[in-house]
Structure 1
Amino acid sequence: MTGQEDQGPSSLSRPDSPDVVGASAPPLLLGTYTPKIDAKGRMALPAKFRSRLGAGLVMARGQERCVYLLPADEFRRIALRIQRTSMGNRAAREYLRVFLSGAVDQEPDKQGRVLVPTMLREYARLGQSVVVIGVGTRAEIWDQEAWQAYLSSKEQGYADIADDVLPEMDF
């Protein structure tokens, strides 16, 4: 199965949409996709993400053993924010070391593929079948079985904590 799973067009994912606040708002990455990683370690980026990620992107170690896919500008913003506190904060220094030492600049080829480096494939335990999910200003690459297990374990909690995580809003 390839492509996006049951996601329709959304004005939230278009930078020119009136729903997006600020002209310099980062692209919004949404949805779930199931590309494959080939024998050379290459993965086709979801078509909807290609223009939003831009010509350059950064892959880095993510939380819960996934790989983060970030537009270069968003990666820079995150790294600078962590770095501002790193000299006086031991936890921030340690996080920054692990985060930046596992980060790799990537440029998609003409077919929209990127190489997922061996180090990151091993870290996230990625096999041939992966899931790429949009998580707002970043995407995450998960091993397909690991993602299904994670999602199953979090579904009830998702409903239970909604009131704690989301402020009171009119939907």
Structure 2
Amino acid sequence: MFLGTYAPRLDEKGRIILPAKFAEAIADGVVMTRGQERCLYVFAREEFERVAERIRAVPAANRDARNALRVFLAGAHDEVPDKQRRVTIPPVLRAYAGLDRDLAVLGVGDRIEIWDAAAWEANLATTEDAFADAEGEVVPGVL
């Protein structure tokens, strides 16, 4: 399970060092793709295959499912981290997420999210207040 928030920097070659805590889970490879809220989702290879299979199981007649599948899979990039846990973020994904030098890397359970640091701070300010002030369940049946 991926947990925590980290603040790595993107190097001049478009690479990022993923946190040491994630090393074992990502050793066999990762797949990164477009995420919601203009961040990147990074999955361990096996988890990505499970998620992609669930999306592919939705009937092709469903336009939203077709569009999600296109956005999710067409932008996907897979690679095996090097010995320093570096992975390259392709230019198209860096542009999608508006990534500059300072990043926020979040462990969110089954995936890692990569955000531009300023975008993450702005998102957190809004969502953290909404979470703290929520009345009743935020996630039905869970929280």
Structure with greater Cα Rg: 1
Match of 1:58 in 2: 31
Maintained 8 Å contact 1:69/1:138:
yes
Q: Residue in 2 aligned with 1:84?
A: 57
Deviation at 1:86, TM superposition (A): 4.0
Distance 1:168 1:132, change over 3 A: closer
The 5 Å alignment of 1:91-170 reads 91-161=64-134, 163-166=136-139, 167=141
Which residue in 2 is equivalent to 1:41?
A: 14
Other structure's SS at 2:57 match: helix
* Higher relative contact order (Cα pairs below 8 Å, separated by 6+ residues): 2
Number of equivalenced pairs: 142
- Say which of 16, 30, 36 aligns to 2:3: 30
Contact 2:102–2:116 (Cα < 8 Å) also in 1: yes
Scaled by the length of structure 1, what TM-score is found? Answer: 0.79
Give the number of the structure whose residues are more often strand, by fraction: 2
In structure 1, the gaps of 5 or more residues are 1-27
1:92-134 CA deviation, whole Å, 9 max, x = no partner? 0111011100101111012110001111000000001001001
C-alpha RMSD of the superposition: 1.4
Q: Could you tell me the TM-score, scaled by structure 2's length?
A: 0.94
Q: Is contact 2:18–2:85 with CA below 8 Å preserved after alignment?
A: yes
Moved over 4 A (4+): none
CA contact (8 A) 1:86 1:96 kept: no
SS at match of 1:109: coil
Distance 1:58 1:41 in 2: 16
Aligned-pair distance for 1:56?
0.7
Distance in 1 (alpha carbons) for counterparts of 2:89 and 2:113: 12
Structure 2 residue ranges without an equivalent (≥5): none
TM-fit CA distance, 1:89 = 1.1
Q: Provide Cα deviations, 1:33-87, integer angstroms capped at 9, x if missing partner.
A: 0111000001001000111223211000000000111011111111110101141
Whole-Å separation in 1 of the counterparts to 2:49 and 2:28: 15
